[in-house]
Each structure stands twice: as structure tokens, then as C-alpha cells.
A and B are shown apart, each in its own frame.
Chain A
Amino acid sequence: DAGVTQSPTHLIKTRGQQVTLRCSPKSGHDTVSWYQQALGQGPQFIFQYYEEEERQRGNFPDRFSGHQYPNYSSELNVNALLLGDSALYLCASSYRPSGGRGTGELFFGEGSRLTVL
């Protein structure tokens, strides 16, 4: 049973460029959440996708956008990259946005390490 898979694992961009990160959720999961984790910090919630729509959004600018496909996979797009966007971007999947009747357990991918020069 494949877990959450993310690609690419590492990438380097320059200021002003655009980047697309990809995520495939764990089998049986239909909800994808994206997090940004700066070095030495806890993950910060970016947004959540369910039924191909953005359901929740954290305090991130419009430069951060996303998409969810019918197969539940998701993309995170960041435009006009800034040096401060350098971070580990984590994708997490769950069954239903709040886990339905369960505890809403999240399964995380290994992350995409973005470096902006």
C-alpha cells in the first residue's frame, strides 16, 4: 500500500521564478493538505483540497495556489518566488477533511525541499 508520495524531492529556483510541487495521497484518501516548514519550525498550514476545491486556507498570499485532480492527487504552485519561500513543503492526506467519524489522522509525505537563490 503506497503511502503519500511527493515530487520532486529537492529543487533549486531563483527569485521570481515559479514552481509546481506534486502530491499523490495515500490509497483510500480523498483529502490533501499542504504545509510549509521552515528550518527549525513546525509545519504551517497552507491550504486543504477536497472534492477538487480549496476548503481551508492558512495565512499565505495568493502567490500560493493549488489544484486537486479527480484522482485526488494535488499540486502546489508558488509564483514570484521569494528567498523566504525556501522551506520543506509537506503534503498530508486523510480520508475526508476532518477524517469523517475518525480522528482525522494525517499521513505525511517525505516532502519537497525548495531552495530559492
Chain B
Amino acid sequence: KNQVEQSPQSLIILEGKNCTLQCNYTVSPFSNLRWYKQDTGRGPVSLTIMTFSENTKSNGRYTATLDADTKQSSLHITASQLSDSASYICVVARPGNTPLVFGKGTRLSVIA
């Protein structure tokens, strides 16, 4: 079954600290993996998209890694800010026009 599992479900960190969010997937075949940031009550915003051949991709303080062999990805946030408080959703795409498979997200709270 095509699934995307994220951990932890929620996380609280102090402002300025780093954190890493995990994503494991069983989706096959694989086309690309995406990380989205979703503020409460808002639409998701794309952070990174990685294809099979990409191991690491950065977007400012966000760095995503992908291990296509073990079907794992991580999103590392450096020097967290209060504005990083949001849900982070891992999404896996299959080739062609097939629906994306969404994880349930990790709810990150950054506190002062």
C-alpha cells in the first residue's frame, strides 16, 4: 500500500535550536519527494522537491535529504525561528498523472 509516515507527530523546540523531521514512505514507483510548510489554516507552501538522483537540497535554513534506497527523507531546520511554527508535510509523487501521496504532517512549535 502506498503510504507516507512522518515522525514525530508533534515537536516543541526553543527558538534558535535545530531540529530534524522524518519521513518514511512505501510509495512505488517513485518520481519525487516534496516537503511543504503549512501554517495553521493556510495552504501548504513548497519548500523542496527532490528527484531520485538528488540526496540533499537546501532552501535557506531548510535542508532536505533523501535516501531512495531505504525510502527515507528528513527535513532539517537550522537556527529555528518563531515563524517556523507550522505543520511540515512530506509528499511523494509517482510517475505520470497519479495523485500525490501525502503524509499527515509534523506539527512544529517554536517557543521563545
Which A residues are closer than 8 A to B by beta carbons? 4, 40-45, 48, 55-56, 58, 88, 90, 92, 97-98, 103-111, 113
A111 and B41: CB pair below 8 A?
yes
If A40-B104, A42-B104 touch, whether A103 touches B45 (CB-CB below 8 Å) is: no
Chain B residues whose CB sits within 8 angstroms of the CB of A41 once the complex forms: 104-105
**Number of A-B residue pairs at CB separation under 8 A:** 57
B32 contacts chain A at the CB level, 8 A cutoff: yes
Which B residues are closer than 8 A to A by beta carbons? 4, 31-32, 34, 36, 41-46, 49, 51, 89, 93, 95-100, 102-105, 107
CB distance from A23 to the nearest CB of B (A): 11
CB distance from B32 to the nearest CB of A (A): 5
Contact sample, A vs B, 30 pairs, CB 8 Å cutoff: A40-B104, A40-B107, A41-B104, A41-B105, A42-B4, A42-B102, A42-B103, A43-B89, A45-B99, A45-B100, A56-B97, A90-B44, A92-B43, A97-B97, A98-B95, A98-B97, A103-B31, A103-B32, A103-B49, A103-B93, A104-B31, A104-B32, A105-B34, A105-B46, A106-B100, A108-B36, A108-B45, A109-B43, A111-B41, A113-B41
